[in-house]
Amino acid sequence: MTVLPHEDAEVHRLERMPVSVERKLVETGAELVEHDWRRLPRLARQRLVDVRVDSTIERRAFRQLVAWLRETFLGAPHSDGSSDRRPSEERFEHPWRHPSPPAGVDAGVWPDLPIDLRYALFRAPTEAERARILTLFRALLRA
């Protein structure tokens, strides 16, 4: 999934960072702030959206890609892509990757939710926002 249905037009145009990239940054320990996201070329932003981070190798490659993009396009100091916040390799370290749903989410629905949507539910500030996200997702499934 690239951009979630509840994200606004700026995110769809990649002018703002999508939830999918935020999740990848959290899971890999890579660092990229919103201001720097906007300074990257559009193709680089699209690549960050498209890259998978499900395996150890993919997470390492994503960290290195972010480090290279920061150095090349933003003039950030050279880095090998490692971070002091290196993520553990625990399979369920992040709650959105856990097989059990959080409170308020139907256990029958949870396994069918894409990982980016799961992350969005965890970062939603209110129960109302979580409900809105799930409603939009269900409407897309019916369409």
Residue 5 has pLDDT above 90, yes or no: no
pLDDT at res. 12: 86
Burial class (CB in 10 A: 0-12, 13-18, 19+), 91: exposed
| 141: alpha, beta or left? (left if phi > 0; alpha if psi -120 to 50) | alpha
Higher pLDDT, 136 or 62: 62
Which 3 state secondary structure label does DSSP give 25? Answer: helix
Which 3 state secondary structure label does DSSP give 61? Answer: helix
Pairwise CA distance, residues 27 & 53, whole Å: 8
pLDDT at res. 80: 58
pLDDT in tens, 9-19: 889 899 999 99
Pairwise CA distance, residues 116 & 86, whole Å: 20
Mean pLDDT over 108-119 rounds to: 89
Mean pLDDT over 104-121 rounds to: 88
% of the chain residues with pLDDT over 90 = 51
| Residue-range domain boundaries for the chain | 9-142
Report field, pTM of the whole predicted structure over 0.75? yes
Mean pLDDT over 20-46 rounds to: 96
Give Cα 120 to chain centroid, integer Å: 8
Mean pLDDT over 46-54 rounds to: 95
Q: Which two tokens stand for residue 38?
A: 């906007």
Q: What is the mean pLDDT of the chain?
A: 86
